[in-house]
Structure 1
């Protein structure tokens, strides 16, 4: 029996994933967690689990800080990272923490099952489409904007927000200009920073200028 802990902040998705996984006779979901603190607390009880399936983009939780804490107490625990972010930069950022699996949230059930069994058997499993093919002459790909050198995909909305950030607009001003909420702006800002691998606004601006992510 392969014992799993699942971590995702969306309860509906979490419950659905647990239910799907437990349709397989050799899988057992021992615990589900909805936050970074939940998983840290649970791992502190020294549970007997075989694999941790972890959403890397949890609210109020820096992914690298969370992963470093997990590795501090469970350096050998097999981890399958789960993400909606398709850029390869996040993949490379997380490599230093070690992982055995990396899946996108639009993976098929069969791919999830295959990943779990592969990792449980001591192997590694990466999403079938993890290697994105970027054309050097292409400026738009998969409905998102990319740079010629960085391989980072930004949605149209993310590109708009990044441009306004670089023009020194505050979150409140961006929200008013784009007719969205401040919390939505902040969520986009966080996702952009994760995609670009930076930790603050200065880093965003430097990266945007270096890779020509914005016009003017």
Structure 2
């Protein structure tokens, strides 16, 4: 039996999920939580096999923060993000936080059930279009790498700015951490984007992940 904790701020969503999952012979919802704080407490007490984690919860901790904290305390816990955000930035942040899978709320029931069973047995699961985007991005990066990776052309300071930006730090926070001005941070960031041929922050995050720059202490 796969035991499941549902963490979502909408009571109707939790109710619908409970009915769907408890209707499966091999699945059992053992608890619900309405925010990240409640979810962490319930997971620590009940030790479910899988946590279904919403990302956007206005009260208490959000799903990303809760996922990161739970993975620190329960590394073996399988966390499956269930969200409305079909967005590369949320996807990569969820993966980095430790989520084993990422499914959209408008996905067919069969996909959600497959995802739950996949992460419960230790596999990863991404919804199909996300997998395709990741594969396409990988192919594009490989093609660019054939002419040489320009990462080595970045200065040490530019590499620091790249890493901190990808981790979500604002310009002011980066400036304070590196003891430089905000204007200097903006200049470094502009140079990094130009040298790497990147146009958006999600592209920067994906590049940083590929280079192994998103290791948090």
1:44 aligns with 2:39: no
What is aligned with 2:18? 18
Give the aligned CA root-mean-square deviation in angstroms.
3.1
The alpha-carbon deviation at position 121 of structure 1 amounts to 2.3
Helix, strand or coil at the partner of 1:44:
helix
Question: d(CA) in 2 for partners of 1:19 and 1:116?
Answer: 15
Q: Which has the larger radius of gyration?
A: 2
The alpha-carbon deviation at position 68 of structure 1 amounts to 2.5
Report Cα offsets for 1:84-123 as digits up to 9, x if no partner: 1111111112222222211001011111111112222222
User: What is the TM-score normalised by the length of structure 2?
Assistant: 0.59
8 Å CA contact retained: 2:54, 2:63: no
Question: d(CA) in 2 for partners of 1:100 and 1:64?
Answer: 12
Question: d(CA) in 1 for partners of 2:27 and 2:88?
Answer: 29
Question: d(CA) in 1 for partners of 2:167 and 2:86?
Answer: 13
8 Å CA contact retained: 2:67, 2:79: no
User: What is the TM-score normalised by the length of structure 1?
Assistant: 0.59
Aligned counterparts, 1:1-216, within 5 A? 1-45=1-45, 47-60=46-59, 61-131=61-131, 198=168, 211=199
Q: Which has the higher helix share?
A: 2
Question: d(CA) in 2 for partners of 1:6 and 1:18?
Answer: 8
Structure 2 unaligned regions, length at least 5: 134-165, 174-185, 194-198, 202-217
Helix, strand or coil at the partner of 2:28:
strand
Helix, strand or coil at the partner of 1:58:
coil
Question: d(CA) in 2 for partners of 1:20 and 1:31?
Answer: 14
Q: Which runs of 4+ in 1 moved over 4 A?
A: 196-203, 209-213
The alpha-carbon deviation at position 69 of structure 1 amounts to 1.7
Helix, strand or coil at the partner of 2:118:
helix
What is aligned with 2:143? none
Structure 1 unaligned regions, length at least 5: 134-195
Question: d(CA) in 1 for partners of 2:200 and 2:41?
Answer: 42
Question: d(CA) in 2 for partners of 1:197 and 1:83?
Answer: 21
